[in-house]
Structure 1
Amino acid sequence: MLHKKNNLFNICFISGKLGDVDGVSRETEKWISVLAGMGHGLYTVSGFYASEFTEVPYKQQLTIKDLSFSSPRQEYYENLVFPYLGENSTHLSEENLQLLQDELLEEGRKIAGVLYQFIQKNSIDMIIAENTNALPMTLLGAVAVNELVQTYKVAALFHHHDFWWERSRFCESHIEQLLNRIMPPRNISVEHVVTSSYAEHVLSSVKRVKPHIVPNCADFDHPPIKDNYNRQFREDFGFAEDDLLFVQPTRIVPRKRIEDSIRLMAQFSRKYSFLAHKIHFIITLHHSNEPDSPYLQNLISLAGSLDVHFHIITDRVYSCRTEKNGQRCYTNADVLINADLVTYLPAWEGFGNALLETIAARVPLVTTTYLIYKTDIRGSGIQPVEIRDRYDGQGNLIIDPSVLEEIYEVLTEEKIRNLRVGLSFKRAADEFGIHILKTRLASILDNYSDEIRASRRRLQISRQSYYV
């Protein structure tokens, strides 16, 4: 499926996982949908497909298990090179660390060879690397992608969602020189995309890489609506029609600051005690690959101590509607369309997928003024309930009493609620709609097209030489 006219290309996405409910997976699917709509040929390589991946034909998918975030090789290297993750990393001698790094590089190069064969077999013109060279969740993937660029001269677009220096567990390592070299690589023949002006500033000033900015986007042209399927959500989970469902539509990870959402619910229930019996706090998405098992138990204990009705429905929320064990399973959008309020109080986010999805579902939103919200989202004119990102001496979010009053207003005053969610929908649709993604991707590929075609010619010559 080799495109030869105009600026149409065969493009391969490479990621540690696809088909999941996390932000990177969902944004990747949006990119695939947009690029397919433009006429490009799409392929995927992933360490793991969390669900049936229908965005590209099955024959155009490849699984390389060693790229997975939870593969034995990934866990082996993580535990040895990141002191905060492994008990044995601090006991390695300098000589053994060098041997370990050499081993990592050699394994990554072997995977690069497998990727290169897939590229040649399918006449792929360029790759899009999804966070592989930004966050070391797939170390072998990072080495392999870098090898494709440096040695095989494959045209590449790096899509960075967040970076290793933003995560405390990765900020200290025994391979910092390697991370600085390949995460991300500085190569004049590749292009980089980030999701925010902050990330653009960091890469430009610190890494001397000039990236494009493509914000997270949502499909406001086809927003979620109530239908015969998701109308059954409340009944399936035993909620009454007049219950107040406060939803946390995120994964269970510490940086989401779910404990602050629980405390917010507790304070609201105390102030408006006549509503307390109706309020249910729901978390929709599963644990991540972050070391957060104690975190969930702490959340359960905190909710119990504060009398918050706490529901974890992660085993019934998937990237697509399905049925498990005779029970209906829902998407995050299905849950949101049934929510009365969404809490989204992160200390840090690469952008804010859950925020946009909430606005698209026309649900009242409570959010902190986290950094990217202040720099790239707030100026759009959306109207959530805001909580300033200020914390007390114990690290708890400071919640002003006026916030509780504002929440009560949007829950009880239909006219005010409709005005706020309607305005937020309009403003977000203008700034973060799929049309923005289409326009920016078209521009990036157009500007990069000469290098992509040069890569195509190099690959063709190599392929001809190989088969002679």
Structure 2
Amino acid sequence: MGSVKKVGIVHYRAGRTDGVSLEMEKRKTILQSLGVEVRMISGPVQRGSDFVIEELEFDAPEIREIKENAFGYFGNHHLSSARLMEKIHMVAQKIETAFREYHRREQFDALLVHNIFSHGRHIAAASAFARFARNTGLPIVSTNHDYYWEREEYQEPTSKSVQEYLDLYVPPAYPNIVHVSINSIAREGLLRRRGIDSVVLPDVFDFHQPPWVRDAFNADFPEMAGFSEQDLVILQATRIVPRKGIELAMELVAELNRHKSALEGKTLYNGKRITSDSRVVLVLAGYAEDSAREYRQWLEEIARHLGIEARFIAPRIGAKRSSNGDKRYSLWDAYVYADLVTYPSLYEGWGNQFIEAVFARKPIVVFEYPVFKADIQPEGYHYISLGDRVIREQSGRVKLPTSALQAAAEQTMKTLLSPETPRHLEENFAIGARYHDYAVMREFLQKHLCS
């Protein structure tokens, strides 16, 4: 690809099934198809990284301490401002030194960094790579999936020193760094707050790959996941964190359970016949971050309270299929067996699982979060709506208004049974391919890495 022969891709983690890891893999695939060597750089929580920097792990005790002392939300302010800044610079120096040595060996022509210059969870990493960028002049494309000010927990810096640091490095305004925002709302926010312009580049997907199908490898997936061929299978493919609003999917499953008799004896859009023995099963394929373990346990309690069948299968799902040791299925295998996909996120930077469901030609249930309404809905997809409003209870749980839940359940039943649904799913696929195929990313990389 012109003078660019070797590119490093940097993030806190790699090779997982979260949205950022998936986007990194897509860039790697596209660059390799253009003849570029690619190296993956991450912290120690990874699968398949070429170089590991221990200090890049955001859940490490030292990094959590910095985060919790830098932002008022966490209420953990035992470090003085001076001591906090000292710790930030110490960690940044370790990261920069490690990466400089790796760059000296590899001699990268450009870097792609993800969230390093934008997220609040690991602000020390930002100055490490900013100093590297300033001192080397290396071309860098910074994809900012999450700006710190977009999250409630990072909106109140604890001191003037922290705010000045954020203004300088999160993100930095250097001529050799091209900033990418993944939606129009984020772009406007960056421009308004920092006067930094950015390119809007939403998530992409390989719409030219073979369709995901049943085969010898995934034939035993239903047995592993605890459902039968006659069950109505609903997939929740996201990670398990509170902002994904997974309790809304559980509410919908419970509502569908109450109306299951209306489906009995009928055939769904995909040819599956529902019987009196059929169950409505929610399959949760995503993993829970360490910080979300309580949320996962709480979801299990909610499922029991609602009396629904919920299957948490993350330990058996990987970014890729594997037969070494415990068999791991890919996330794509989960889509193969789904009759319906739920996407009830309260907030997303864009929507990886939405576009995956579009490619898989599955009906999608969506909570209309702000970015969905601003950037995705206008593209013209068919979907089932959970509305755009929730009720927040004192416990922290979010619920749908009764009218929205009932309307979503009714629309879901109609969609599952409608002979028009296959046509609508094909139309969704065509829209997704038009706006989000790899060709969009390929053109962007060629333009910005070669200029």
Q: Is 1:440 aligned to 2:444, yes or no?
A: yes
Partner of 2:271: none
Partner of 1:177: 164
Partner of 2:270: none
Aligned pairs for 1:63-462 (under 5 A) are 63-85=52-74, 88-89=76-77, 91-92=78-79, 96-174=80-158, 175-222=162-209, 223-273=211-261, 278-289=279-290, 291-323=291-323, 326=326, 328-392=327-391, 394=393, 395-398=398-401, 399-413=404-418, 415-446=419-450, 449=451
**What's the CA shift string for 1:175-207, capped at 9, x where partnerless?**
232122211112233211111111111112222
| 1:362 alignment partner AA | R
| 1:153 alignment partner AA | G
| 2:236 alignment partner AA | Q
C-alpha displacement of 1:417: 2.2
TM-score by length of 1: 0.86
| Contact persistence 2:55–2:94 (CA under 8 A) | no
TM-score by length of 2: 0.89
| Contact persistence 2:55–2:91 (CA under 8 A) | no
Structure 1 range deviating more: 40-49 or 331-340: 40-49
| Contact persistence 1:225–1:361 (CA under 8 A) | no
**What's the CA shift string for 1:380-414, capped at 9, x where partnerless?**
2211112221223644223253322221122223x
**What's the CA shift string for 1:35-87, capped at 9, x where partnerless?**
1212223222211252235xxxxxxx2111111122233123223323433x5
Q: How has the CA–CA distance of structure 1 residues 237 and 347 changed in structure 2, closer, same or farther, with 3 Å as cutoff?
A: closer
Structure 1 range deviating more: 25-34 or 136-145: 136-145
**Structure 2, unaligned runs of 5 or more:** 264-275
C-alpha displacement of 1:273: 4.3
Q: Is 1:23 aligned to 2:19, yes or no?
A: yes
CA distance in 2, matches of 1:366, 1:107: 43
CA distance in 2, matches of 1:68, 1:196: 26
**What's the CA shift string for 1:111-170, capped at 9, x where partnerless?**
212212222222212222111111133333222111112334333221111111122222
CA distance in 2, matches of 1:309, 1:238: 9
**What's the CA shift string for 1:10-56, capped at 9, x where partnerless?**
22112111111100000011011111212223222211252235xxx
Partner of 2:267: none
CA distance in 1, matches of 2:284, 2:370: 23
CA distance in 1, matches of 2:63, 2:229: 46
| Contact persistence 2:384–2:411 (CA under 8 A) | yes
Identity percentage of aligned residues: 26
CA distance in 2, matches of 1:104, 1:392: 39
| Contact persistence 1:134–1:184 (CA under 8 A) | yes
CA distance in 2, matches of 1:251, 1:77: 25
SS of aligned partner of 2:81: helix
| Contact persistence 1:362–1:422 (CA under 8 A) | yes
Partner of 1:41: 37
| 2:299 alignment partner AA | L
| 1:424 alignment partner AA | N
Structure 1 range deviating more: 309-318 or 39-48: 39-48
SS of aligned partner of 1:292: helix
| Contact persistence 1:109–1:147 (CA under 8 A) | no
C-alpha displacement of 1:324: 6.5
| Contact persistence 2:138–2:176 (CA under 8 A) | no
| 2:342 alignment partner AA | T
CA distance in 1, matches of 2:300, 2:347: 22
**Structure 1, unaligned runs of 5 or more:** 54-60, 450-468
CA distance in 2, matches of 1:268, 1:257: 18
| Contact persistence 1:283–1:311 (CA under 8 A) | yes
| Contact persistence 1:66–1:140 (CA under 8 A) | no
**What's the CA shift string for 1:420-465, capped at 9, x where partnerless?**
211111111111111111112222223xx2xxxxxxxxxxxxxxxx
C-alpha displacement of 1:100: 2.1
| Contact persistence 1:108–1:141 (CA under 8 A) | yes
C-alpha displacement of 1:237: 2.9
C-alpha displacement of 1:338: 0.6
Q: How has the CA–CA distance of structure 1 residues 11 and 266 changed in structure 2, closer, same or farther, with 3 Å as cutoff?
A: same
| Contact persistence 1:127–1:157 (CA under 8 A) | yes
